[in-house]
Structure 1
Amino acid sequence: MDPPSPLDSPLISPSKARQAAIQAKDWAYINSWLVRQYAPNPVPPFERNEDTLKTLLALAAANDTADEEAALFHRAREEALQGLKAREKAEPLQKKEILDEIEDYLDEKGEKSLDDLAETTVALGTLGTEDVSHAIIELTTEEFDAAEQVRRVEDLQNYLDKELDTLRKQLEELRTDEAYETPPDILAQTAEWNRGTKMLGAKAGEYQSRIPSLERTVNTRGPTIQQLMEEEQGVLRLKETVSTLEGRLKAFHCLPSDVDGAKLEYKRLERELNQLIRQRDRMFEGLVER
C-alpha cells in the first residue's frame, strides 16, 4: 500500500509541496517500471523511503539505457541482414551485367584471349580462377627459366665464336708472319750453338778444376788482389755467355727442327680449330631442338 501523500496535509509549504510532487512522480515511474519488470507476477513489498527511491531510479535509468542499446543493436543487426540479403539477390544480376558489358567491349584480340582462357580452364579441369592463375604463374616461371637457359647458351656461343675468331687470327698470323717462319739455316745455327755451349761447358769445367790448384797456390804464395779480380771477371763473363746461349737455345726448343715438322704443327692447330667449330654447331643444334 502506498504511503499517504504529503500533499494531503493543509499546512505544507510550497517548496515542500513541489518536492513532494516530484517524489510522487518518481514513485509513479518506479511503480510502472517494477510492474513491467515483474509482469505477470505482482511486485513484492519493500520499504519505500528516499534512499530506496534514489537506488531504484538509478537502476531503472541504467536498465532503460541498456534496453535502448539492445534495441539499437537489434535494429542495426536486422538492417545489416536485410542489406546482405538484398546484396546477395542483386549480386548474380550485377555479375551478369558486368560480364555482358565486358564482352560487348572486347575486340578481336580480347575475344581470342578470353577463348584461350576458357580452353585453358577446361584443359586444367577446373572452373575456378585460382587454379588457373597458379598454372599461369608456373608457366610464366618455366618460360623465364627457359629464356634464362637460352641466354646462357647464347653467351656461351658468343664466347666460343670469339675464341674461334682468335684461333683463326692466330693461324693466319702463323701462315703470313715472317717472324714464325723457320730460318733456312736453323740447323746450322743450332749445331753451332750446341758446339759453343759444349766448348763453354768444357771451359767452365776446366776453370772449376783449376780452382783447387789456385787455392793451394794462394795458400802458399798468396795471389794479389788484382789477380783475384781478373779471375772473377773472367768467370762472370763465361757465366753470362753460357746463360745467353742457353736462353737462345730454349727459344727454339718449342719449334720443330725442320720445315716438315712446322707444317705438321700447323695442321694440328687447324684440326683443333675444326673441332671447336663442330662443337659449337652441335651445341646450337641441341638448343634449336629444345
Structure 2
Amino acid sequence: MPGGGGNLEMAEADTVPIEEMMERVTTWLKKVFGNKPIPQYQMNEQAVNILFELAEYNEARVRDLSLVIEGLKELSKEYEAEAKHLKRILSEVLDLPSQKLSGKGTMYLDVVVNSAMTLETKDTSLASFICAINEKMSELYTLESENKGMELELKNLMEKLTTALNLETQLEKDLKRTQELIKVKNNRASNRPRDLEFVNAKCQELRSRIEAAETELAATGFDASLSHRSLVSLAEKLNRLQKEIVPLKKKVDKYHDLPANIPLAKVKLEAVRHELNCLDEKFSKALEELTYDI
C-alpha cells in the first residue's frame, strides 16, 4: 500500500542522527508554513523525534500522491485515446458522429467516459465497470482503515508530545527550585567561615577578659576558694555527701526509741516485765473461766 513506506521510515527514525533529524524537521516546517513564521516549540530530543515522524509521514504521503497523480495523468491519456476510438467507432462503424448525438446522448456519453476515467477501467464495458467499482470499494475500505490507524497514531503522538511538554515544564520548575536552594546553601556556606571567625574572635576576647579579671582579683588578695569554680565544686561535694548520709540516717532512726542510759533502760525493762505479768494473769483468769463454762 502507498502508506507502507511512510510507516517503515518512521520505524527507522531512531537510527537517524539527531542533527540530521533537526535539519530535516526544520526544512519540512519551512516548506509547510512557507512565508509564515514557524511556531515556537521546545527543542528537545523527544519533540524532535515526534516532529521527525510527522515529517516522514507527510513526505511519504506527498510522494504517494505524486505517484497517484502521475498514474491519473497516464490514465487520462489512455482515456483520451479511448474517447477518440469511440468517436471513430460512432462515426465510421455506426455512421453516427458525435456532433449528431442528442443532448442526452452526449451527456450519457460524457458520463460513461468520466466514470471510466474515475474508475480507471481499461474500457467502457459493464464487466470492467463492475470490477472497477468492487476494486474501488476495497481500496476505500483499506484507506479508511489506514486513515483510522494514522489518526490513532497521530493522537498517540500528540498525547506523547503533550506529556513530554508537561514533563519538561515540571522539570524546568524543579530545576529552578533546585538552583534557588543551591544558591541559598551557597550563601550560607559562604557566611559560615565568617561566622566561625567571629565566634573564635569572641571566645578569644572572653578568655582574655577572664584571665585579666583573675589576675586583678589575685592582685587584690581574693580568696581562690570563693571563686565560682570552687563554689561549684563545693556544691557538688555537698550534694554527694548528702546522698551518702541518707542511708546512715535510716540506720540511726532505728535506735531513737532506746533509752539514753542504762538506769533508764532497767526501769523500762521492769515496766515491761510488770506489764507482761499482768497480761499473764489476765490470760490465766480467762482460761479458768473458759474451763469452768465448759
State the TM-score, normalized to the length of structure 2.
0.27
Structure scoring higher RCO (CA < 8 A, sep ≥ 6) equals 1
State the TM-score, normalized to the length of structure 1.
0.27
